[in-house]
Amino acid sequence: MTQVIDFRSDTVTKPTAAMRKAMSSADVGDDVYGDDPTVNQLEAVAAERLGQEAGLFVSSGTQGNLLAILTHCQRGEEYIAGMRSHAYLEEAGGGAVLASVQPQPIENQADGTLDLEAVEAAIKPDDFHLAITRLLCLENTFFGTPLAPDYIKAAKALADKHSLRFHLDGARLFNAAVRLGVSASDIAGSFDSVSACLSKGLGAPVGSILAGDKAFIARARRWRKMLGGGTRQAGILAAAGLHALDHHVDRLEEDHMRAERLAAALSDIDGISVHPCPMRTNMVFISMDPSRQKGLAAFMRDQGILMTVEDGPIRIVTHLDISDPDISKTVEAFKRYFDIRQAA
């Protein structure tokens, strides 16, 4: 089997041998009865790492964000989120459809932040014509860039001022923490709730953690059951999450370094424009002339390199299954591609 180099996402990681071993030897029970010791341990450990009282093992980041909306908001209320944020754009409208909660999107600025004046202007006054604004959602990292701690502080002050609940879509929160050199709890502890993916750069096959205070998690657990998310011997999967939290957080640094190395090398190639990123984690965005972009994915696929190439910027994501030689091989492939195109 030839090893493909897969830059499409950090969700493509496969469980390591050590992770599979932890999974196969996990102590399990029926989690709907609260009997699965490995799930219970994961929920406790993850909550502590996130600076929250309690945790809930959920099937995906999408489920975590939906549970947060369902739990914080009532039918007819609304949540504010970035127009390009996952919780607004890429969760199939679940907040509106399943929670009956109206999204109020706000344009994301280039660094992923929501202009706080725009957020404040979107908060509805108490008027029965209007939905009740209940929740402010941020995303961290946003397109690979961590939110600045001062920005989070200011956003929290705004949420407090208007009695909004404050949720973090921290799908890649651990990337942000490692990049900023702070603990995950330093970032997540100031939110009322946070969801964090175990199945992206952390390398677990399935699952996210939703964390918050005990009362919030108790209510979220009921919604999770309603959504069909109550699972039984889920300790097999939770063991992978625990293994990821213990062994795959610090190493995210390697993914960030490889992304930076790739960005630097690609920016030396004539015809590629690497989007500047002063606080890079594990993503590189590049642009090129559309005529060059056209054959790129097929060319790369022939070299055993996978990347998603659509219209617009190309996103390249580093992760657990991308090595230093993979980066070198990819840079060489890009050079060849642009040489051929130059000659043509």
Ligand X SMILES: *Cc1c(COP(=O)(O)O)cnc(C)c1O
Place of tokens 């199939």: 92
- Single out the residue of 208, 281, 282, 318 in contact with ligand X (rule: CB under 6 A): 208
Q: Is the CB of 63 or the CB of 133 nearer to ligand X?
A: 63
Site for ligand X in 73-102 (CB under 6 A): 86
Report if residue 145 touches ligand X, rule: CB under 6 A: no
Q: How far is the CB of 332 from ligand X (least distance, A)?
A: 29
Q: How far is the CB of 205 from ligand X (least distance, A)?
A: 11
Instruction: Of 309, 285, 300, 296, give the one whose Cα is nearest residue 341.
Output: 296
Whole-angstrom distance, CA of residue 6 vs CA of residue 297: 12
Whole-angstrom distance, CA of residue 58 vs CA of residue 102: 23
Report if residue 197 touches ligand X, rule: CB under 6 A: yes
And the tokens for 129?
A: 């014509």
Q: How far is the CB of 81 from ligand X (least distance, A)?
A: 10
CA torsion, points 175, 178, 180, 185, in degrees to nearest 10?
90
Whole-angstrom distance, CA of residue 340 vs CA of residue 344: 6
And the tokens for 196?
A: 């964090």
Q: How far is the CB of 78 from ligand X (least distance, A)?
A: 19
Q: Is the CB of 197 or the CB of 210 nearer to ligand X?
A: 197
Using Cβ positions, the residue closest to ligand X within the complex turns out to be: 61
Could you write out the DSSP letters of every residue in 160-171?
HHTT-EEEEE-T
Report if residue 60 touches ligand X, rule: CB under 6 A: yes
Place of tokens 């993916």: 197
Q: Is the CB of 38 or the CB of 60 nearer to ligand X?
A: 60
Sequence-ordered list of residues with C-beta below 8 angstroms from that of 43, at least 6 positions apart, any chain: 54, 55, 56, 57, 209, 238
Report if residue 139 touches ligand X, rule: CB under 6 A: yes
- Single out the residue of 55, 61, 146, 212 in contact with ligand X (rule: CB under 6 A): 61
Q: Is the CB of 109 or the CB of 342 nearer to ligand X?
A: 109
Give the three-class secondary structure for 133.
strand
Q: Which stretch, 61-69, 149-157, 257-265, 318-326, contacts ligand X (CB under 6 A)?
A: 61-69
The footprint of ligand X (CB under 6 A) covers: 60-62, 65, 86, 139, 169, 171, 197, 199, 208
